[in-house]
Amino acid sequence: MLRAMRAALALTSLFVALSAHAQVDADAAGVQRWFERTLLSLAPDGDGVRVQSAPGLASTLPSAPSERAVSVGGELARLLSPSLLQVVELRAVDAAGVRADFRTTRRPPGGVETRVLGGFAAAFTDPLHLAVAAGDPAAAAAQLAAGADPDQAGHHGRPPLLVAAWRGDLATTLVLLDAGAAVDQTDIEGVTPLMRAVGQPATFAALLEAGADAEQQDARRQTVWTAAIRHPEAVAALLRTKPSPARLHAALRLAAAAGPVEVVRALLAAGADPAAPPLDVDGRPATGYFALPIVDYARRRDDGLGPTVERLLVEAGAPVPAGPTPAAEE
């Protein structure tokens, strides 16, 4: 799980590792980055602090004096990191935000080992982002009418429109677009609202209609097509934007490797050429894994759809290797 995490910048908060041990430091960095990448909102809630994550789950941590930590497990622990985090200790709450520790408990032979993985200090979320994270378009409209900036950055640099798109909240998305929100404003990893709206057909279509750029790349040089390729509704919407032949072919290669059969058929029907030479994101000849014959992607599938996808590609003119293709470095 930690290997899959990308390096990220701090949100508007300061994260501090609390241990000098190298492995603990590595774990701390991973937990902190995971937390900042999934946190949507943080707000006072009675005697506690309400934490909401990207999947839409939320939990309230009870507040405690700074000299006495409160251990919180259960829903919040599962919300933050099911495979690693077991306890969050809330250290202090003030008017600006919250300070807390991540802890994990392991059970090595002969005893129990508890380690502090890291600490964080997070500012409370601004009112517009709170309204958007809560899925309250009326409250969001009221904040905008009062002068809130529709493009102000929140946790992880996310603009309100990205949060609304991630939640699949069409009503709030339209409120923000009507207020002039920039449709392609990104978070600190270059992720756009359109990328976050994949899997939310109505919101995805609304963003495209508002002019979202389907070719914009994130920090990993991926476009929305990478995530959309597993979602037939998203691909259908993207095809209505009349993508270039090069984009169609690149999408077909993605679909051959991991897309539903329905997506492969749609791309072929739209004119994707399975015999076209593979190119990289800069239009140069691809190398390594990305230069494999397109039928090889179908042959490498382990979901049982490979033979069907291969047949569709070959029937559409894909070249078939004369023999086994040498393994390419992935």
In terms of Cβ atoms closer than 10 Å to its own Cβ (0-12, 13-18, 19+), residue 323 is: exposed
Q: Are residues 152 and 46 in the same domain?
A: no
The pLDDT assigned to 192 comes to 98
pLDDT in tens, the chain (330 residues): 222 222 222 222 222 222 222 334 445 566 666 667 778 888 888 777 888 877 667 777 666 544 334 444 444 444 444 444 445 566 667 778 877 766 665 556 666 566 666 666 778 899 999 999 999 999 999 999 999 999 999 988 999 999 999 999 999 999 999 999 999 999 999 999 999 999 999 999 999 999 999 999 999 999 999 999 999 999 999 999 999 999 999 999 999 999 999 999 999 999 999 999 988 777 788 888 888 999 999 999 999 999 999 999 999 999 987 655 544 444
Which of 60, 92, 125 terminates a domain? The answer is 125
Q: Are residues 247 and 257 in the same domain?
A: yes
Q: Are residues 221 and 205 in the same domain?
A: yes
* Total of domains in the chain: 3
Q: Are residues 230 and 266 in the same domain?
A: no
Boundaries of domain holding 188: 126-240
* Non-local CB neighbours of 24 within 8 Å, separated by 6+ positions: 17, 115, 116, 117
Q: Are residues 110 and 28 in the same domain?
A: yes
The pLDDT assigned to 178 comes to 98
Q: Are residues 119 and 87 in the same domain?
A: yes
The pLDDT assigned to 63 comes to 63
What CA–CA distance (Å, rounded) separates 85 from 76? 9
Which of 219, 240, 261 terminates a domain? The answer is 240
Q: Are residues 160 and 91 in the same domain?
A: no
> What are the φ/ψ torsions at residue 140 (nearest 5 degrees)?
-65, -45
Quickly list H helices, the chain: 22-38, 74-80, 127-133, 137-145, 160-167, 170-178, 193-196, 201-209, 224-228, 232-239, 245-258, 261-269, 294-299, 306-315
Q: Are residues 228 and 321 in the same domain?
A: no
Task: Annotate 108-154 with DSSP letters as a single string.
Answer: -TTS-EEEEEEEEEEEPPPHHHHHHHTT-HHHHHHHHHTT--TT---
The pLDDT assigned to 280 comes to 77
Q: Are residues 107 and 134 in the same domain?
A: no
What CA–CA distance (Å, rounded) separates 234 from 227? 9
Q: Are residues 99 and 9 in the same domain?
A: yes
Cα-trace Rg, the chain? 23
The pLDDT assigned to 76 comes to 46
* Non-local CB neighbours of 51 within 8 Å, separated by 6+ positions: 39, 41, 42, 58, 59, 60, 61, 76, 79
Which of 125, 153, 176 terminates a domain? The answer is 125
Q: Are residues 206 and 256 in the same domain?
A: no
Q: Are residues 175 and 255 in the same domain?
A: no
What CA–CA distance (Å, rounded) separates 245 from 247? 5
